Amino acid sequence: MAAMLNGTGDVDATDGYSGSDVFEGGHGCTGYTYDDLILLPGHIDFAVHEVSLETKVTKNISLKLPMVSSPMDTVTEADMAINMALHGGLGVVHYNCTIEEQADFVRKVKKYKNGFITDPVCLSPEATIADVDQVKEAFGYSGIPITEEGKMHSKLLGIVSSRDVDFVEDRTTPLRNVMSTDLVTAQEGVSLREANELLRQAKKGKLPVVNEAGELIALISRTDLKKNRDFPNASYDSNKQLLVGAAIGTRPNDKNRLAALSEAGVDVIVIDSSQGDSMYQHEMIRFIKATYPHIDVIGGNVVTKRQALHLIECGADGLRVGMGIGSICTTQEVCAVGRAQASAVYKTSQLAARFGVPIIADGGVASTGHMMKALSVGASCVMMGSMLAGTEEAPGEYFFQDGVRLKRYRGMGSIEAMTKGSDKRYFASVARVKVAQGVSGSVVDKGPLSRYLPYLAQGLKHGMQDAGLDNVAALHRALREGELRFELRSPAAQREGGVHDLYSFEKRLF
């Protein structure tokens, strides 16, 4: 007893069970969800602000925030993808639209925040203020370079901004009459750091970069500098453009879609299928890696080691894990095929880790606690649908029902989504009778991502701190070595772990 009190002697203080005990022990025939598990606390020797959430989404791409928006038509278009990347995550644009529309979504993300904007919209001096209005409506900005020929690599004459045109009533006025010609420019070859400093000193909104002939070759925007200050963890490519992913199917015409997405600058392709271990996906992964080796490929969806191994052998750079566990998904109910999500993530990640392939846990996530559990059983990132569908950046309009502000949300296996083209995700594009594997519904307003994502990130950091681990790599190492300890929860324990025994309460996220 004295030895125990003095902290000396051979005392076994091991408690709980390792991941191997839980998922591969005597109860290995049972599939577990996130709610079945609870993590046991570790020792805290660091502050919460010291926790790093940096992780891998593919073998080659790192994120500062382990969150990815789902390629659903009520979740991710350009606005969602832009804001996910600004906060350090990744947006994957849906493909329930035309090839041109999806490529345009990607293009908007890549253009949104550049170091050097190499293809800005230009106008000629003969263009009118009405043309500026159209550019502002289409792209959201009005600081436009004016060149002799109205295009890049033409002699720079001036710039038109909002203050030049806002109070001019005649919108047919030529830009020659209103453009600013008192320009501060940078010469070709200037570094981004030097160009940024010039912009600060000049106190201008735009800094054109010209060659020796005075021809416009690039543009730098003050708003980009402000965004860089406000979003220090933003996800960038090597050109300082925001990272963006896009989903495609496995049909032959998806190769045309892929070509357009590559031209638009997509960084990651997610092959979207409810059951990823098919000959169609195998062929598509091999085609992408052979034809577009610069684009990373996330395969899926998978839930077993065998499925995961097949896609890794084909060249997948990441795996999307989950089948039939989303809030709007009915695949397990309709098809009786799938797997409980915690078990699926653990099993596939154990195999994928041997090849250095990250796992994206897709579905079954409704809270930061679920996200923490997904990472703790081997996921590198969490893909979110319903959690993001109620945000301002999600497509669609808000509406009120019984005094509650809501947004539409639907599964890609719902009849409504399948009639728009997502049926190929379920190998049903030529089926006479379409069997729904999802539903349509609504979700509560969650406000802007600028408030919601920091809340999610902080919740994850507190979970990591309570577990005694200050980064995702350490979390995964503790899982592998059996240092991360779990217990299974009875139904009563699950109820006890939530809000209970109150007459009424108000639950606010932030």
Helix (H, G, I), strand (E, B) or coil at 408: strand
CA distance 276 to 112: 32
| Region of residue 116 (left: phi > 0; alpha: psi -120 to 50; beta: else) | beta
CA distances from 255 to 127, 211, 258, 276 (A): 38, 38, 5, 17
Torsional sign, CA 472, 477, 479, 483: negative
Helix (H, G, I), strand (E, B) or coil at 459: helix
Amino acid at 236: Y
CA distance 211 to 510: 50
Catalytic residue among 320, 329, 408, 410: 329
- Secondary structure element (H or E) that encloses residue 297, with its range: strand 296-302
Q: Answer whether 90's CB lies under 8 Å from 235's CB.
A: yes
Helix (H, G, I), strand (E, B) or coil at 164: helix
Catalytic residue among 320, 408, 425, 485: 425
| Cβ within 8 Å of residue 414, ≥6 positions away | 328, 436, 438, 439, 440
- CA angle 473–478–479, rounded 5-degree value: 95
The dihedrals phi and psi of 19, each to the nearest 5 degrees, come to -60, -40
**b/e map 128-154, b = 16+ CB within 10 Å:** bbebbeebbeeeebbbbbbbeebebeb
Residue of 105, 60, 113, 115 lying closest to 87 (CA atoms): 113
| Cβ within 8 Å of residue 331, ≥6 positions away | 274, 323, 324, 337, 338, 413, 437, 438
Peptide bond into 301 cis (omega under 30): yes
For the question of residue 97 being annotated catalytic, the response is no
Q: Identify each DSSP E strand in 331-477 by its residue range.
A: 359-362, 381-384, 398-401, 404-410, 440-444
For the question of residue 329 being annotated catalytic, the response is yes
Residue 317 DSSP symbol? S
| Cβ within 8 Å of residue 496, ≥6 positions away | none
Helix (H, G, I), strand (E, B) or coil at 73: coil
If you search the block for the tokens 């969490």, which residue do you land on?
A: 382
Q: Answer whether 93's CB lies under 8 Å from 78's CB.
A: yes
Q: Which residues are catalytic?
A: 329, 425
